Amino acid sequence: MLAVTEKNSGQLMGMVGIGNKGEVNNEIEIAYFIANKYSENGFITEATEALSSWALESLNLEYLIAIVEPDNCASQKVVEKCGFEKQETKMILNSGETEEKPFYYYRLYNPTKFPNR
């Protein structure tokens, strides 16, 4: 996880990170959040795009995943602006939950491994 901060004040705005998602075959997921007062300004999109590019290149990954709840339109916009492609809807028992629920499952492919995508 990395902090997303304001350039001038250093104020924490949110976080972005990658990690293995055990609930989805241990695929590597990007996850993020941003405080409401900073949302809809492109900050988390910029951070997500930067970390996605770094992870694909530096870690030599084939792809990253993102899972998004169907009613979370703002998060869908973030991953889609970053180039993630919706693959399907998956029923996932997310950490901290007691029942499976639907999530949109996205992938961002490494352009050096999949140049025609």
pLDDT for residue 12: 96
Architecture of the domain defined by 2-109: 3-Layer(aba) Sandwich (3.40)
pLDDT > 90? residue 81: yes
Question: How many angstroms from the chain centroid is the CA of residue 101?
Answer: 18
Ordered by start, the domain boundaries in the chain are 2-109
| Mean pLDDT for the chain overall | 94
| pTM of the entire predicted model | 0.92
Q: Which residue has the higher pLDDT, 96 or 26?
A: 26
- pLDDT (average), residues 3-19: 95
Could you count the other beta carbons within 10 Å of the beta carbon of residue 17?
15
pLDDT > 80? residue 73: yes
The pLDDT > 90 percentage for the chain reads 88
- Tens of pLDDT along 21-49? 989 999 999 999 999 999 999 999 999 99
